[in-house]
A and B are shown apart, each in its own frame.
Chain A
Amino acid sequence: MAIRQQQERGAPVLEVRDLTVEIRTKRGTITPVDRLSFTLRGGEVLGLVGESGSGKSVSMMALMGLLPAGAARVTSGTAFLGGTDLLSVSPKRLNSMRGGVVSMVFQDPMSALNPVMRVGDQVMEAVRVHHRGLGRKGLRARAVELLELVGITDAGERMNAYPHEFSGGMRQRVMIAMAAANEPAVIIADEPTTALDVTVQAQILELLQDMKERIGSAIILITHDLGVIAEIADRVMVMYAGGKVEEAAVQPIFDAPRHPYTASLLASMPKLSGAVTTMRTIPGAPPDLLALPQGCRFNPRCPLADGRTECHTRAPELVHLDGGQQSACHFPAEVEKAFSRSSDQIEEGGERA
């Protein structure tokens, strides 16, 4: 198992370079993921954050070979997991890797589980795919063990239940059990707690952490919630309109963001501490992927862009700053100043058109 051995903490596990995805829509062809590169390291939780439509899910679906057939295709890039390029292997081989060395957890466990199949059978099936040799007894024992591991009480009995008999939180536990079944090198979790209540979210985040420690998988956690990032991410990538605009370890993302979009997201996060004042907002909305702004894609909403020609003419490249931080902004050094004036006058609210 070549992949497992590489999984020492900090060693690259998954290396994605220049991933580009195109989707044909009724109105024209869009590029929801545009030359995305990143490295996932052993034992880490890499948070992937951004607003709706920024390309978080499409990029991960592309890696998993789960893009909608026909309309969507990967037009460039490599994604090496161990010695295998996920983007060029045969669909058959990718199929056999899914649920094996790399697995997924989705936002809505109800649609990922089979409603007419007993929970136990589904977990056993997840195990069986990659342990053909195991007999029924062995499969069952492993499934019960997995369900116990994710905190389902009376796992032996619950094996016979159907998904609808479980609460949302329990269904997500089952999904995590299935994703962990074969101790994958990488788990991709797409908004795993978005549909859950906060008290259940707290349980599930704890469980993900715990599973990561036990089986040593690296996790890519997609979320739009910076609170979830603050809870469990080690490193963070911020996406905007199909591209990565910032990447850094989690603490600098919160304390010293180097892209105005990251800083804006942080400023508009409703918090339970600090003074209650008018909330800072990001004016307008993310761009239409068929009508992207000239220059920097963030310029219509950016507090720094006013009167700066570069922002309107030249698309910023991702630059490497101190401490491994990356930013795709022409003026990364000015972000701090622009956002530290706490009572300042960033455009408020209204969308004028």
Chain B
Amino acid sequence: MPRILEVTGLKKHFPHRSRNTLPWRPRTMVKSVDGVDLDLEVGETLAIVGESGSGKTTLARTVLKLYEPTAGRIVLDGADITEHSLRRMTPIRRNMQMVFQDPVGSLNPRAEVAAIVEEPLRVQGMRPAERRRRVAEMLELVGLNPGYGSRYPHEFSGGQRQRIAIARALSVDPKLVVLDEPVSALDVSIQAQIINLLVELRRELSMSYLFISHDLGVVRQIADRIAVMYLGRIVEEGARDDVLLAPKHPYTQALLSAVPIDNPALRGVRRRRVLAGDTPNPANPPTGCPFRTRCWLATDTCATTAPELLSVSPTQRVSCHVATEPPQTR
């Protein structure tokens, strides 16, 4: 299968601003993304899941080159774009679009819907008459009345605004769409509408999605593969059902067990692994394995050596010293 995206060793570190940093002290860095490898096939959806602060959004924005990568390589559709300048990125942008979580904040409140949807088309240099036609087509595609083009964002509900954001992203026929928590701000009934729409559009337009979410139930509806992030690294990655039904990394197991039950009859039936404490500060991560401070399997090795992401089957990779040990030594 041809790949639309290949990311290797990607890092994004930010200088850490802390109240008690003095100018003569060496500045510490927050390692928001710290060595991520991932690839995405044409027509595939890879979901990135993780809790707040795990680096999901930073990863998305770095992949799109909205942030300069600190290290690593990004290959989009066969072309290495890691070193591309802003100007050289412009023609490439039409192949990689983004949809954000907040359908209110991401749409210019003073612009008409038509102007919002056609903006990427204008950047790509499409002529006005053609743009108008395309805008009507896009609104129709996402289930909105094409006549809505002359209205303003505040006249729409949250779900409708997210449809507008999707219409804008898809207007340029991108090959890759990065969706950062696109349904998290929506009510469940609207959430389901948008998920169905995204699934349907991907099928029709043969795009690839990098789908960022903290909600495993939502991810299950849309992903082919799932990557689980913790403190800037991917700790487990695999086919959807491998990760959801047979998670190997202790963090994935804990995360899944924390998802609320969907019927009260299951109370007390499912074993819950309640993680103690909070995620460590990414400015000061643990040595060795990032998860070891909350891990019930941790050994001495975990404190000293960072585990690598290793294959445990052709469709599943795990970064854990204990989970990837060959069975006979366990």
Contacts and interface: CB of A to CB of B under 8 A. Distances in A.
A198 B143 contact: no
B220 A270 contact: yes
Interface in B146-194: 148, 157-160, 163, 187-193
A169 B294 CA distance: 16
A250 B260 CA distance: 15
A247 to B, nearest CB: 15
Interface string A262-297: 001100111111001011111101100000000000
B143 A352 contact: yes
* Residue of A167, A198, A230 with most chain B CB atoms under a 10 A cut-off: A198
Interface stretch (A183-191, A200-208, A317-325, A337-345): A200-208
Interface in A211-258: 224-231, 233, 250-251, 254-255
A225 B218 CA distance: 13
B259 A272 contact: yes
B275 interface: yes
Given A52-B187, A280-B192, A272 B262 contact: yes
B267 interface: yes
Contacts of B193: 281, 283, 349-351
Contact of A279 (B157, B192, B214): B192
B81 interface: no
A334 interface: no
A164 to B, nearest CB: 10
A272 B160 contact: no
B196 A279 contact: yes
A197 B214 contact: yes
B263 A281 contact: no
Interface residues of B, number: 50
A250 B262 CA distance: 12
A351 B274 contact: no
A8 interface: no
B143 A201 contact: no
Contacts of B163: 351
Contacts of A1: none
A170 interface: yes
Interface string A2-40: 000000000000000000000000000000000000000
B104 interface: no
B196 A278 contact: yes
Contact of B264 (A254, A286, A348): A254
A276 to B, nearest CB: 6
A270 B218 contact: yes
B273 to A, nearest CB: 9
Interface in B128-150: 143-145, 148
A309 interface: no
A51 interface: yes
* Residue of A167, A199, A200, A254 with most chain B CB atoms under a 10 A cut-off: A199
Nearest to B256: A272
A353 interface: yes
A148 to B, nearest CB: 15
A254 to B, nearest CB: 5
B260 A230 contact: yes
Interface string B25-63: 000000000000000000000000001100000000000
Contacts of A351: 143-144, 159-160, 163, 193
Contacts of A268: 188-189, 191-192
Interface of B: 51-52, 143-145, 148, 157-160, 163, 187-193, 195-197, 199-200, 214-218, 220-221, 244, 254-267, 272, 274-275, 278-279
20 contacts: A52-B187, A197-B52, A198-B214, A200-B51, A202-B260, A202-B272, A202-B274, A205-B260, A226-B262, A228-B260, A230-B267, A268-B189, A268-B192, A269-B217, A270-B188, A270-B218, A272-B220, A279-B192, A280-B192, A349-B200
